[in-house]
Chain A
């Protein structure tokens, strides 16, 4: 029954116009970034590397597919949570608003299975969105700019990664980025369990991300103890794969914290939905 309802959920997601909004927006934004880099990429990169040019000489193609993909990821990974929440925040509350939740809850399927099938469908949609971002960014930028070594600027300085040492980092980076987005998906489905319309969970998800991000960036001692446990602190962990050496211990910790958040959100949703009186 779980598989059957997961299939149902996927049919519903694929039939909703809003599901294609994220894919369309990503495609458009990737296109705009690639166009901008093609037209004015040299001056943008020169502006960033200017401070190093007195001590370092850059040879070869600095602007290449790997750099453009990194820039795209850096710019878009912040906005994708909204595109994810737009679909997943509607999965349960949208049914309540439409009234179909009554029909669903009177079928011989347990409420736990209803919630789990929505989580699985939400996860598949999030995976598809992450893959779309990755394949479009890597494919298009390599097609237009070709390949080359990747120069990454971080707080410690610059890291130069050789061309043949990059693809696995993108693979691992996308996997962690997917886990971060999955946490957003789980949060919005969790909020969706307690709402009767889809706007509330979508706005609330974004508000929570914004609030936690602000807490994470504030240099206030009071927040220091909670910062490591906020899921937003770990949403940029994908970037750690582009450090040299890769801080695997800190990435592992981020993965654990994100997984724990997912489990908590799923459990809260299941308990909440099982106890909920369906009055809509």
Chain B
């Protein structure tokens, strides 16, 4: 069952007035994937995700979930999906518990009050169930959003920018929640995020879209391993460091960042040699820090 295609999007396009939000997006998600959905602002991520949830009707292209189309089996498809789109919005005048009761009632599954309480405990809001949502912080709403997403035990979870507007602590909390869903419940998760580090840490497959088109799709590890590693070097003699690298590593590309640091684009197997070379030439190495691979990959892909 692991190779079962859960989402299949082919040639999706959507125009609002004269603005082409999505021109040609195609990708597929397999069961058990944590699928990263990447793209710069305005790339068409949210429009695509809204098409996946039947919030927006595409002009052209096919969207099938669980091998079914929205035309005939909308209710059945949606009963298997839990989602947060952009930000979780709730009825501010109702308590967290009442909000979950409202969404549970129309989720297509039977959810008891005890299960609602358990879900609130799961997302760390066990003691806030009776509190009105209007007093909740953004992070608490995000966690309540995840509780709402999981209430009816969906097979597929779609999270659109789940960490937007969160402080570092909130980002870590949401990341840990997603990791628990992946590890403990083996859910299929589609995760759209600007936080490239989040995708790199969590996702096993990804798609990058730009200007409404699919740029690349594949396994995160394969896509990133095919790239050179960029390391940031901090030494006590940056000019000598640069000269040494240029003399000994002809394939390496260097970019001076400041008076004591430079970025080196180099194959990961050559990094120990580079370190040894600097030490042998009496250059004090303060730091060798690999930069986020996905960040560089993303920028290169988008720019190309």
Whole-angstrom CA separation of A108 from B155 in the bound complex? 14
Q: Is the CB of B74 within 8 A of A110?
A: yes
Does A5 interact with chain B (Cβ within 8 Å)? yes
Q: Is the CB of A103 within 8 A of B89?
A: yes
A4 touches B85 (CB 8 A): no
Could you tell me which residues of chain B, from 211 to 241, have a CB within 8 Å of some CB in chain A?
Answer: none
Partner of A8, one of B53, B78, B86, B106: B106
Bound state CA distance, A104 and B57, in angstroms?
16
Q: Choose one: B53, B57, B98, B106; the contact of A1 (CB below 8 Å).
A: B106
A5 pairs with B106, CB closer than 8 A: yes
Chain B residue contacts of A102, Cβ below 8 A: 55, 85-86, 89
Identify which of A10-18, A55-63, A156-164, A230-238 touches chain B: A10-18
Query: In the complex, which of the residues A12, A16, A108 contacts B78, with contact meaning CB atoms closer than 8 Å?
Result: A108
Main secondary structure of the interface of B (DSSP, over half): loop
Number of A-B contacts (CB under 8 A): 83
**Chain B residues within 8 Å of A99, by CB:** 86-87, 89
Are the CB atoms of A277 and B81 closer together than 8 Å?
Answer: no
CA A102 to CA B173, docked complex, whole Å: 24
- A198 to chain B: closest CB distance in Å? 14
B89 contacts which chain A residues (CB < 8 A)? 98-100, 102-103
What CA separation (Å) do A7 and B102 show in the bound complex? 9
Return A197 CB to nearest CB of chain B, in Å: 14
* Interface size class of chain A, counting residues whose CB lies under 8 Å from the partner chain: 20 to 34
Interchain nearest-CB distance for A97 vs B (Å): 10
Complex CA distance for A277 and B50, rounded to whole angstroms: 9
A107 x B56 contact (CB < 8 A): no
Scan A94-132; emit 1 where CB is below 8 A from any B CB, else 0: 000011101111111110000000000000000000000
| Contact indicator B75/A16 (Cβ below 8 Å) | no
Contacts of A12 in B (CB 8 A): 91, 94, 102
| A279 interface contact, C-beta 8 A | yes
Residues from chain B with a CB closer than 8 A to the CB of A8 are 102, 105-106
- Is B54's CB within 8 Å of the partner chain A? yes
Q: In the complex, A15 Cα to B81 Cα: how many Å?
A: 28
Supposing A4-B105, A108-B76 touch, asked if A279 and B91 sit within 8 A by C-beta, the answer is no
Binding site for A on B (CB under 8 A): 16, 50, 53-57, 74-79, 81, 83, 85-94, 98, 102-103, 105-108, 148
Determine whether the beta carbon of A98 is less than 8 Å from that of B91.
Answer: yes
A278, CB-defined interface residue at 8 Å: yes
* 14 A-B pairs (CB sep. < 8 Å): A1-B108, A5-B106, A11-B98, A11-B102, A98-B89, A103-B89, A103-B103, A104-B106, A105-B55, A107-B103, A109-B75, A110-B74, A277-B56, A279-B56
Partner of A106, one of B16, B83, B102: B83
Nearest chain A CB to B141 CB, angstrom units: 11
Residues of A within 8 A of B103 (CB): 103, 107
Residue in A16, A107, A108, A109 whose beta carbon sits within 8 Å of that of B93 in the complex:
A16
Q: Which residues of A approach B to under 8 Å, CB–CB?
A: 1, 4-5, 7-8, 11-12, 15-17, 98-100, 102-110, 275, 277-279
A100-B89, A103-B148, A110-B74 known; A279-B107 Cβ under 8 A:
no
When the two chains form their complex, are residues A106 and B91 in contact, meaning their CB atoms are under 8 A apart? no
Once the chains bind, are B50 and A278 in contact (CB under 8 Å)? yes
- Contacts known (A106-B81, A110-B74, A279-B56); A5 close to B90, Cβ less than 8 A: no
CB distance A277 to B75 under 8 Å?
A: no
In the assembled complex, how far is the CB of residue A12 from the closest CB belonging to chain B, in whole angstroms?
6
A5→B105 contact, CB < 8 A: yes
**Chain B residues, Cβ within 8 Å of A278:** 50, 55-56
Which residues in B have their C-beta under 8 angstroms from that of A277?
16, 50, 55-57
Q: A103-B148, A106-B78, A106-B83 are in contact. Are A15 and B93 (CB under 8 A)?
A: yes
Partner of B53, one of A15, A16, A100, A106: A106
Cβ–Cβ contact A107 & B91, under 8 A: no
Note all chain A residues with C-beta closer than 8 A to B102. Answer: 8, 11-12
* Bound complex: CA A5 to CA B75 (Å): 14
Closest chain A residue, CB of each to CB of B51: A277
A98 to chain B: which residues have CB within 8 Å?
89-92
B78: chain A residues at CB < 8 Å are: 106-108
